């Protein structure tokens, strides 16, 4: 498995890919996958002093994050 950190606030998506060789053993039908994501620590202060522009987190973003 691979572990990465994210440095920008906002929404993310996770992508999973498998080798085409997996189809040789399991066929070409969809494979059920369950993922678990662990978020540690609290958000810290931004080291960036300027306008965050498109990376800004709005009040609506915060509401959506709280409600899932």
The Cβ of residue 25 has, within 10 Å, a number of other Cβ atoms equal to 6
pLDDT at residue 10, as a whole number: 62
28 vs 26: CA distance, rounded Å: 7
Q: What is the pTM of this model?
A: 0.35
Residue-wise pLDDT for 3-62, tens only, equals: 666 666 666 777 888 888 888 888 888 888 888 877 777 777 767 778 888 878 888 888
Cα dihedral sign for 7, 56, 41, 16?
negative
pLDDT at residue 6, as a whole number: 63
Q: In sequence order, which ranges of 1-68 are alpha helices (DSSP H)? A: 22-26, 59-67
pLDDT at residue 1, as a whole number: 65
9 vs 7: CA distance, rounded Å: 7
pLDDT at residue 49, as a whole number: 79
pLDDT at residue 14, as a whole number: 79
Measure Cα distances from 36 to 14, 24, 33 in Å: 11, 27, 10
């Amino acid at each position: 498995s691979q572990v990465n950190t994210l440095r920008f606030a906002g929404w993310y998506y996770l992508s999973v890919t498998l080798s085409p060789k997996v189809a040789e053993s399991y066929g070409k039908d969809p494979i059920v996958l369950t993922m678990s994501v662990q978020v540690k620590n609290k958000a810290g202060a931004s080291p960036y002093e300027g306008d965050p522009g498109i990376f800004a987190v709005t009040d609506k973003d915060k509401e959506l994050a709280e409600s899932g």
